[in-house]
Chain A
Amino acid sequence: MSRKSESRHQLSLFDPAIMRTAAIDAVKKLSPHALAANPVIFVTETVAALVTFLWLRSLWLGRGDSPSFSGQIALWLWFTVLFANFAEAVAEGRGKARAATLRASRSDTLAKRLVDPEGRSHLDRVYSTVSARQLRVGDVVLVEAGDLIPSDGDIIDGMASVNESAITGESAPVIREAGGDRCAVTGGTTVLSDWIKVRISAQPGNTFIDRMIALVEGAERQKTPNELALSVLLVGLTLMFLIAVVTLWSFATYSHTTVSVTVLVSLLVTLIPTTIGGLLSAIGIAGMDRLVRFNVLATSGRAVEAAGDVDTLLLDKTGTITFGNRMASEFIALPGVELRKLAEVALISSLADETPEGRSIIALAKTDYGIAEPDLTAKSPVVIPFAAQTRLSGIDIGESRLRKGAVDSVLKFVGLPADQVAPEFRQSVDRISRMGGTPLAVAVDHSLLGLIYLKDVVKPGIKERFAALRAMGIKTVMITGDNPLTAAAIATEAGVDDFLAEATPEDKLNFIRKEQTGGRLVAMCGDGTNDAPALAQADVGVAMQTGTQAAREAGNMVDLDSDPTKLIEVVEIGKQLLMTRGSLTTFSIANDVAKYFAILPALFLATYPELGALNVMRLSSPQSAILSAVIFNAVIIVLLIPLALSGVSYRPVGAAALLRRNLLIYGLGGLIAPFVGIKVIDLVVTALHLS
């Protein structure tokens, strides 16, 4: 993963400034209107108010439970609500901080709207100055060096270097130019040099930055499908326990015992899933935030969840699986040619070649063959640069013409018909192609010397990543423009499960459709306009920030770092989000067992002292038992906030192993933890004479 982006937006989990704001927000969120979206916590707040009333009544009238008991219960019920609010507020805090920075770049930009966008008349540089907010889709603006780009759009004329740090945090400028895949510009970024004409493509208030602000702030946060389903489950459980507790009053009456409302309410609150209910939205916000910190923007939480479900990853070969550049890895001389001679010619012919391939040839000749770089200044060499027509490059030194280039071109250069080439040469060419490499032929004048094996270098560690993905049940598919032979070789080396060679955009789209019909979810990344249909078809489409506007619109995520490798991490973040929810739900539900053992014996001890046998924790008194359970229930929310925000630890292993592990930690842990916790709190409560 890219460290730089991680560190750039890293705010410590409990940044003091965020904590302060969150504490205030937690109180603001007590408004029942705000809480109505969270039924579990809403119920808790309602009963907190009820117990507060009972406490006041017992203070005034001296009826009911002792004021110190009901007062403490009321206090801890309020704490339960506040802690839940606090969790959400902390999670929102970081997003808000980021949004504030983004807003600054948006404030009141002026735009130079061209009077004659087509530029057909002499008025082609005449503009009127308007506010960025007045720009409409289709307007064309002129942006010159030093100007902020007023809104999103595509360059229709010119080329400029643009500082996009406002969005990506990366200060190195990028080149943007008309036509092709680098024509999109984003409002809020700055043109550093030259000028461009931009056709606006976003309505005011709906620009990329606007959407980004809304996203990181969570303003438009809607419950994701899984979150919705989980909420339904939690409401169901709440209703179930509500029935259980309300009816208990009647059963107590039958048993000639009276149970105070305070105690019944305590039982209710400890049984309903307050832990997960309190942390649910924090988990969701934190999941989005993890993506944002990772410099990936998801257009919706739904996309993040879908990432966790992905079965097939479509990865571009270049840049994701291999380094973009090929490297020389071997010289292969023709029979009768000295290897050193070949290496020397290769080196000399590459001296003027500034491409990474050229430099890798020089490096190989120097390090592996010990060739020194000759001093040619005296010989007045003539550099023959690479040209698309000849597909050759080299140097002329005096009468000698040293060349390297595509095999066919070099053969033509030496004037050798293909059928007269030495069979060894042919075999070597084939071998290199089969291994996924590119052969370059080397020649001096009319004699063919041999081959340079340019290797497509697979990124170190990528094979292990794919193995990990396979263990998670995710299939990786490499997309490449290479021929099937080359593609197969690289696919084997990188350890992908499948590849799509000589892939056209239609091929990609069809492949995605085929996978989806087979019941698989597909993720891919892309940047070009021709990727847009596939990005839109994919369940998770990550568009590169450097890509075209069309691509960015089509995907449901944008990677601000434009690093296609990140697709893998995006999947992991999605999985982690779901796992955190599931694990904390399990923990919350498993907690109930211990709470029964704490409260039930205490509830009826007056009428049935025999039920004391169920008091397995040996809690000191009924009141202490109830108070301890309520305190545990509140405190556990706070204790779990860090986990909710950072997510449960994730390892790329299969589902069975994950389930075993999480079930052990959060299921079994959820059964045991409250027994210990309630007992400890009971000891403290008793020692402090709180009950």
Chain B
Amino acid sequence: MANVAVPQSEYQAPKERGWYKRNEIAVTPWLFLIPGILFFMVYVIIPIFQSFYYSTLSWDGLGEAQNVGLANYAELWDDGAFYTSLKNNFIWLALYLLAIPAGLFIALLLNQTVWGIRLYKSLFFFPFVISQVVVGLVFGWFYDPTFGLFNIALGWFGLGPINVLGDEAYVTYGIIAAGLWPQTAYCMILYLTGLNAVDPEQIEAARLDGAKRLKMLWYVVVPQLKPATFIAFVVTIIGALRSFDLISIMTNGGPFGSSRVLSFYMFEVALSEYGFRMGYGAAVAVVLFLIMLVFITYFLYSMYNEEKGR
């Protein structure tokens, strides 16, 4: 029971703390980030600059590379196939956005409590779960000019047959329609979760003030869905710009190259069966990157603003 007090003379000052201990709070987040940063650098950032470099080469990917300066870009400048792809890319961007209002519409439709609503929700969500390749195949059969359902249905109205995927006038729209099917489901699920967070009191208040239908939707519900809309916008834009698998499966870029987009054209000249032009493909990739950069900048800017506003 002897509580012996430590004499002053024997007091030991705490040891000098290590460098890590002193800077723990500043350093630890970076330590945790290192693997992520490393992978992001190796797989995203460095390849971007590599693409810039490759786009100045004439290289078949196997043999000796030759520096040709900006010759690849000069060739792009009057390459008809490039402009077709660029035009299709913009058509994709514009029409793919239809998935957002369509998704909102279906979400509003499904946002009610009826017996079995979960089943309906899953059914509407289903197309997003299946692979794009399967979607492409299914729509390929659907559009088949001789045996497909689409033309049989047109026949009921005395129309058609229309060879959707074999006609350069319709082919891009036909593929976008196929792409909208899963994309709409994706936007729908985003809005369904968003709708859960809509404040019922505000709805009640709006109702007392006499807001109805479209006005209610536009001035009360949609503003509260802004975070969901933002995400839907981001994923749809990205989806439109990387629309590759559907084109590859449904038309292989045809007929005579009229359904190509930049990402597919890049693949074709650089990596496909007849592609041996890494430099030219990289030049296409750089153009695609610059287009994406516009959107990426906008996204980052608006996210930054949001953070700042808090």
A and B held together in a complex:
no
